[in-house]
Structure formats: C-alpha cells, structure tokens
A and B are shown apart, each in its own frame.
Chain A
Amino acid sequence: DGGITQSPKYLFRKEGQNVTLSCEQNLNHDAMYWYRQDPGQGLRLIYYSQIVNDFQKGDIAEGYSVSREKKESFPLTVTSAQKNPTAFYLCASSSTRQETQYFGPGTRLLVL
C-alpha cells in the first residue's frame, strides 16, 4: 500500500532536549511538507521541500530544522529553541505534477 507514515504517534520531550519526528512516503512524490496544528489555529507550514537536498522555510520555521537526503524521507527536528513545542505535527507530500497534498497520520508532541 502506498502512503505516508509518521512515527512515533506520541513523543515526549524534556526541557532542553532536541527531538526528531520521522516522515516517510512511498508515493514517489517529489514535494514534502511539515505542518503544525494547534487548537483553533488550523495548520501552519513549518518547512517544505520540493526536491532532494533542498528545502525552504515556511511561516513558523523558528526552533525547527529539517533535512531531505532521500526522496522518501523528510525528518523534522524540534530543537530546544522552540519554547512552545506542544502540538500535533502533520507531514504531507505531493507530486510536482499534481496539486493535491496527502497527509500522514500525525505525531503528537508533549512536553514533560
């Protein structure tokens, strides 16, 4: 089955700790995206990548970092500089020839 997987489903971060969220897709999509979802605020774009080894900041990139070493993978690191990391994180991907983004099941990040 083709799709997008995110792991883990739940992640706990201690103060001052960096954590990495995984996103993998087997849809052969070129573009991948990371969104943050907070109650009442919809989804906000953190980072996106349209091709391997290239990525751009979204609207709320501060305190986050990404890499795109493989077409299938787009991990997101939440650094200690992100002071309010508690949120639901969603990864998405799309073909550069199509307009539709497909979403993974999400990772909920909680701070201990």
Chain B
Amino acid sequence: AQSVTQLGSHVSVSEGALVLLRCNYSSSVPPYLFWYVQYPNQGLQLLLKYTTGATLVKGINGFEAEFKKSETSFHLTKPSAHMSDAAEYFCAVSAGTASKLTFGTGTRLQVTL
C-alpha cells in the first residue's frame, strides 16, 4: 500500500521568494515519486519525477525536488517564485512502471506582488 501527504492545502509567497511545497509518502516498495502542476480547468502536467539514481531531481520551470528516504519526503522547491507559478501542485507515488498513481490532496500556490 502507498500513500501521500501534502502539508498545507494553501501556500502563499511573494514574487521572488522561495517556494517550498511539502510532500511525505509511504510505500511498501521502493517508490517512484512525481510532482504534477495543474492550472485552472486543465489537465495535469509533469514537473519532475524520481525513479532511481540521483536524489536531487531538476524539473521544468526552475523547480527541483530532493528524495530523502530517511525522512520519506520529496519536497518541491523553487528559489524564486514567479506570478506564473500560481497553480495547484500534486505529489504522487507509484510502485513502478505502468503502476497506479496515488495522489496527495494538492497544494494551491498563490504568488503575490
């Protein structure tokens, strides 16, 4: 069984500030971890993923995430927020290829001037 917990349903940052969105997971097998972004009334777009290898993963739009097995975490960060980053972000876990994804409940990121 696997599960995902995203801490904070809403996060607000100022433009230019650090973005930190938290994700903790549980999995009975080595996990594959994902971050997706969703803009209003649209589908999900993959930001980045961790499967194996390097634990610091870089994605699109300047985002990155670090897999920490000891903390069962996969937090998403971006050094400097931009207004266009305002969206909902979902963390997800799977057990491997063509496996079911289990999603967190999402974090809505607001970026203010």
Residues of A within 8 A of B (CB): 4, 6, 30-31, 33, 35, 40-45, 48, 50, 58, 88, 90, 92, 94-106, 108
A105 to B41, CA, bound (A): 8
Which of B43-51, B60-68, B72-80 contacts the other chain?
B43-51
Q: How many residues of B contact A (CB 8 A)?
A: 24
Known A-B contacts A41-B105, A43-B103; A98 and B97 likewise in contact (beta carbons under 8 Å): yes
Q: A99 touching B94 by the CB < 8 A rule? A: yes
Top-10 shortest CB links A-B: A103-B43, A42-B103, A103-B44, A42-B105, A96-B98, A43-B103, A31-B98, A105-B43, A99-B97, A99-B32
A96 to B99, CA, bound (A): 9
A103 to B39, CA, bound (A): 13
How many contacts between A and B, using CB within 8 angstroms? 64
A58 to B94, CA, bound (A): 14
Known A-B contacts A42-B90, A48-B100, A96-B98; A106 and B32 likewise in contact (beta carbons under 8 Å): no
Q: Distance (Å) between the CB of A111 and the closest chain B CB?
A: 18
List residues of chain B with CB within 8 A of the CB of A35: 103
Q: B90 touching A108 by the CB < 8 A rule? A: no
